[in-house]
Structure formats: C-alpha cells, structure tokens
A and B are shown apart, each in its own frame.
Chain A
Amino acid sequence: MSGNLLHRPSILRRPDGIGGAFPALVLIILFFVVPVVGLLLRSVTEPVPGLQNYATLFGDGTYARVFFNTFLVATVVTAVTVVVAFPVAWMLAIMPPALGSIVFGIIILSMWTNLLTRTYAWMVLLQRTGVINRTLMDIGLISEPLPLINNLTGVTIGMVYIMLPFMILPLVGTLRAIDPMTLRAAALCGASPFDAFRRILLPLSLPGIAAGGLMVFVMSLGYFVTPTLLGGTSNMMLAAMIAQMIQSLLNWGLGSAAAFILLLVTMALYALQLRLVGAKRTTGGI
C-alpha cells in the first residue's frame, strides 16, 4: 500500500490513517462515546448495582409490547417507503437532468422544512374533522370519519412522508448506475416489462434498497415526534418510552437500559448490513 502511495499525487492519496479524522474522532469520543458509556453504567448502577433494569425490561409485558410496536412501526414504515420511493427514484434516474434537478429540489426542500410543522400539518389533514375526512364525507364516499390518526395508520403516513428522501436519494444513485442497455437487452430477448423489472432492475437496485431501507429502518426505530403526535397511546415506541422514563418518572436506570438496548439493536443492524451488502456498496450508495 505505502509503495503505491509514492506514485500518486498527495491529494489523491486515500486517507488510510486517522490523522484527518482526528478532530471529528475527538468530538465523537467526547460527546458521544463518553456519555454512552456513562449511560450504560447508569443502567447497571441505578437504583442499585445489578442487572435488575434489564430484567424488568425483558420480563414485563408492557415493555415487550413497546419493543414489538417499535419494530412493527419501523418495518411497516420501511416497506411502504420502499414501495412509494422506488417509482420516484426511477423517474428521477431517467428524467432529463434539468427536470430531474427541479424534482430533486422539491424533495430536498421538504427535508429542510421543520419536522414539527410538517407533523402538525398532517394532524390537520388526518383528524376526524380534518380536511381529508371532511372532503370524503362531503362528497358522500363515507358517512363516518375514517380513523386516520391516533393509530398505526397515522404514524405510518406521517413517517413515510418524512423518510421518503432518505430512501429516494440512495436509490437514485444506484438506479443511475444501472446501464439502461440491460433493460433494452431484456426487452429484445422477449422479457415483459414486469419480467424486466423483477429479474433485472430489482436485483440490480438491491444495494440501493438495502442502503436506504436500513437507514429508514434505523431512523424509524428511534423516532419520537411523529409517533407521539400521530399515534395513539397503544402505539408507543421506544423513544417515547425512554423520554417518559427520563423526563417524567426520573427512572434513569430503566431509561438508560432501554436506550442501550436500542443502541445495540441499531449497531447490530448496521453490522448485518455490512455483511450482507458489503461496506463499499453500503456507503457508496448513499
């Protein structure tokens, strides 16, 4: 490796040391690693030393339900996001660049709008007396308001909307890298459009789906604002439970234990992703 470097101009050298990353590394260690270790310690020292916090978390039906809810929401949101994002990403990939950058701008713009504002906007749209229900009732399609809020439906709608850019962006990267000739070749060989999609486009775009999907899944696992505002109490997710333990109940031991489990799951998922898709494709896709 070092022999190679001699022949390259220094600016093209791959940074294989941690020298350049040093400031960022110090920041992360000081403001992330150290507090996380402190958190882990609290989970085994408060209120008394031992593993009782973890025993409570795993032994209690309520907490099990919250864990289940968290994974259910993350799974549903990820699946719906993939389905909604794919056509958009495909269009972006094949659009003329000028038009594509406008659509891109619109997608990015939504990411820059305040999360709370967007979530409250959904509340106004989805509630029983909201725009959607009013309209549907006025035109006589329904006689009773549809339950679109304070349940899993509301959470899914609100979160998919917020997660879409995180799915679309990596997916566009992957789709653009696919040679359009492969699809033409498939058509020439007699494949129907659906076959071409299923056997050519979909497999080739898997790295992008995996990268975006993992990002959406992991972000969903820790989501707080949207599930709290658009979900009901029976949709409580881990982040809301942790906030409750830390802020209201002052049970920091239990809250820390739950936070640590969330962190472990997230890291495990990332490790899985690295193994399945490979480090290069994972990071390269984003």
Chain B
Amino acid sequence: MKLIMAGILAGLLAATAARADEMVFTSWGGTTQEAQTKSWAAPFEASSGIKVLQDGPTDYGKLKAMVEGGSVAWDVIDVEMDFAIKAAKDGLLEPIDFNVVPKAGLDPRFTTDHAVGSFYYSFVLAWNKGAVSGEPAGWADMFDLTKFPGKRTFYKWSAPGVIEIALLADGVPADKLYPLDLDRAFKKLDTIKSEIVWWDSGAQSQQLIASGEAAFGQLWNGRVFALEQDGADVGVSWNQNMTAADVLVIPKGSKNKASAMKFLAAATSPKSQAMFAEASGYAPINTAAKAEMPADVVKSLPDAYVDGQINLDMNYWAENRDAIAERWYAWQAK
C-alpha cells in the first residue's frame, strides 16, 4: 500500500515537474488565434523551449471562476481592453513585469499596468457591392433607409463602437462623444432597429456581408481584409474608422507566471507583431513593427487611415461597462 502511494506521489511530482516548461495561451479561436499560434507561440517555443498549449475561447466567467477558486489553468489570455481595465480593478490580473517585457516601442494607447496590447483594429463600414447601389460614405449612411435600403449588420454585444456610431451619425462631433449620451444613441438606433441583423462573431460578420444577407455593416477591418483576400466583392469606407484593442493579460495566480511574462515579451516584439499583422490584417501594437512589414500590408492597416480616426475611449468604457451593458441589452430585448 505504501509503495503504491509512493508511486502515485512520484507520478504526481513528475507531472508537475513536466508542467514547469509549459504554459497555456487562451484566445478567441478562429483565424485570429491561428495567426497568434503561428506568429507568436511557434517562434517562442523554438527560442525558449517553453511549450505553449492553446485553449479557448476566452470566457470572462471562467477567468473569474479560476481566480476566485484558486485554480488558474490559463497563463496568458487575450481579452478586450475595456474588460482588462475593469478586471485589473477587480483584482483578477497580475501586474506586468516591465523588466521582462520591454516597454519601449509599445503603443501607449494600449499599454496599462496589468495589460500589454495584443493587436488593435478599427471598426470600418463595409458593404456588398452587389447588394448596395452607390457607395455609402460614412456612418450616417447606415441610418439612411431611403438612400440605402436593406439590412445592416452591427456587433451584437455591448462593447465600444455601435453607440459611438449612432452618435456620430446623429451629428455629435467626434471630440464630444464622451461621456456618451445613451438616450440620444438609442433614439437614433431605434430609427433602423427593424433593419438590423446582429453579428456575434467575426466569421458571422463576413458571412452576412459576403452572402448579401446584410447589405452593409460595421466590421472589424481584419475581417474585411480577409474578405478582400478571398476575392469577395466588398467595398469599404475608412471614414471615421474607430480603433479598439485586444490586450494580453495574466490572470492572478497563474502557475507559470515567469513563462507567461516571457511569452508577453516575445508576442509584443516588433517581429512577432509584424508577422501577426501580416497574417490577420490587424494592426501591430509595437510601433517598430511596421519596419518589418511589406509596404502593401502597412497600407492596409488602420495606421494608414489616421485622418479622422477615432480612438474609442477604453477607460470610459471600463468605468461604465456594466451600466451601459444593462441599457444595451434592455434596448435590444425590446
């Protein structure tokens, strides 16, 4: 009996020892996580000898349960930036060790004490050329049912973007968006509500536009980029494109914190960021990455459309996330 116990114990110890050079990366799946695996995890494994296991999709409820239950299975997580700011406040995240992760070059817009940028993107107006006559010029056209009839698609979840679009379309100047006038935004959205089809994943947004199921919509630029690569007949307007970001965080109590920090350093390096941007069409959060990229890819990034670009206010959203979400889902359910 003692022997068996000793054997089990030894086995367990061996299992934990084997875990020492492993870590778990969690993201949203699909083409984005594939690009992250190829551009970040694979080179990192080769250079550090630390194995990166992939998991997903990101689930904020799971993250909270893991941290509260003291059994954290994820080491690096790709999350939305406004969530990261709030999660840091709620004590769910480890602070970033900037002695390991070089801060130089990181876009300060997407760097906080508890998060480094993963990638950033713009919401752009995209349309199916076969389903729309003429060219929508900006967000206001999405609310013009006579000039541009047909279904329009927007991001389903309560997140930075749609509220701002409605306010801009209603004539609010870009520099006066915050604090958000929710009443005004919902009133504007009411005018087209019956024509809205919601997308809840990037793949769905592509499918809706490519099939013409929705004539036009608010899409992530990387998804439009992928549609163009596939030869879909889509048009895109970068007018008042809106930036938001995903960031990488380490959950509090991560069992492989040291490896996770090293991973962050590698993933945010100019080279890794350049590789990912090229594969995904999303923009690098390391300002030195552009030097590593082909000129035609650089041209397709949100960086090339800074004129009139709007930075969605992540701090405002982090602060008001719950209150806005409550209104948002109540309005949607009506």
- For window 217-261 of chain A, which residues contact chain B by CB distance below 8 Å? 228, 232-234, 236, 241, 244, 246-252
Of A128, A150, A236, A248, which contacts B333 at CB under 8 A? A236
Query: Is B307's CB within 8 Å of the partner chain A?
Result: no
Of A66, A232, A241, A246, which contacts B61 at CB under 8 A? A246
Q: A241-B329, A249-B325, A252-B64 are in contact. List 10 more A-B contacts (CB 8 A).
A: A62-B333, A128-B151, A228-B200, A244-B329, A246-B61, A247-B59, A247-B60, A248-B60, A248-B61, A251-B322
CB distance from A177 to the nearest CB of B (A): 44
Main secondary structure of the interface of A (DSSP, over half): helix
Q: Which residues of B contact A247 (CB under 8 A)?
A: 59-62
Query: Is B160's CB within 8 Å of the partner chain A?
Result: no
Query: In the complex, are the beta carbons of B332 and A234 less than 8 A apart?
Result: yes
Q: Which residues of B contact A248 (CB under 8 A)?
A: 60-61, 157-158, 325
Query: Is B251's CB within 8 Å of the partner chain A?
Result: no
Of A60, A129, A244, A249, which contacts B212 at CB under 8 A? A129
If A62-B333, A66-B333, A233-B332 touch, whether A128 touches B213 (CB-CB below 8 Å) is: yes
Task: Mark B147-189 against chain A: 1 for CB-CB distance below 8 A, else 0.
Answer: 0000100001110000000000000000000000000000000
- For window 3-60 of chain B, which residues contact chain A by CB distance below 8 Å? 59-60
Query: Is B334's CB within 8 Å of the partner chain A?
Result: yes
Query: In the complex, are the beta carbons of B325 and A250 less than 8 A apart?
Result: no
Q: 4 closest pairs, A vs B, by CB?
A: A233-B332, A62-B330, A247-B61, A246-B61
Query: Is B225's CB within 8 Å of the partner chain A?
Result: no
Query: Is B101's CB within 8 Å of the partner chain A?
Result: no
Query: In the complex, are the beta carbons of B212 and A234 less than 8 A apart?
Result: no
State A25–B156 Cα separation when bound (angstroms).
42
Query: Is B197's CB within 8 Å of the partner chain A?
Result: yes
Q: Which residues of B contact A244 (CB under 8 A)?
A: 329
If A250-B60, A250-B61 touch, whether A65 touches B322 (CB-CB below 8 Å) is: no
Q: Which residues of A contact B322 (CB under 8 A)?
A: 249, 251
- For window 255-302 of chain B, which residues contact chain A by CB distance below 8 Å? none
Q: Which residues of B contact A60 (CB under 8 A)?
A: 330
Query: Is A127's CB within 8 Å of the partner chain B?
Result: yes
State A130–B130 Cα separation when bound (angstroms).
16
28 CB contacts below 8 A, A to B, read A60-B330, A61-B330, A62-B329, A65-B333, A65-B334, A66-B333, A127-B213, A128-B213, A129-B211, A129-B212, A228-B200, A232-B198, A233-B156, A233-B332, A234-B332, A234-B333, A234-B334, A236-B329, A236-B332, A244-B329, A246-B61, A247-B59, A247-B60, A248-B60, A248-B157, A248-B325, A250-B90, A251-B322
- For window 240-284 of chain A, which residues contact chain B by CB distance below 8 Å? 241, 244, 246-252
Query: In the complex, are the beta carbons of A129 and B198 less than 8 A apart?
Result: no
State A194–B122 Cα separation when bound (angstroms).
64
CB distance from B291 to the nearest CB of A (A): 38
Name the residue on A nearest B156 (C-beta).
Answer: A233
Q: Which residues of A contact B211 (CB under 8 A)?
A: 127, 129
Q: Which residues of A contact B157 (CB under 8 A)?
A: 248
State A62–B328 Cα separation when bound (angstroms).
11
Of B64, B197, B200, B332, which contacts A250 at CB under 8 A? B64
Q: Which residues of A contact B64 (CB under 8 A)?
A: 250, 252
Q: Which residues of A contact B325 (CB under 8 A)?
A: 248-249
- For window 143-162 of chain A, which residues contact chain B by CB distance below 8 Å? 150
Q: Which residues of A contact B90 (CB under 8 A)?
A: 250
Q: Which residues of B contact A62 (CB under 8 A)?
A: 329-330, 333-334
Query: In the complex, are the beta carbons of B61 and A233 less than 8 A apart?
Result: no
Query: In the complex, are the beta carbons of A150 and B332 less than 8 A apart?
Result: no
State A60–B197 Cα separation when bound (angstroms).
26
Q: Which residues of B contact A69 (CB under 8 A)?
A: 333
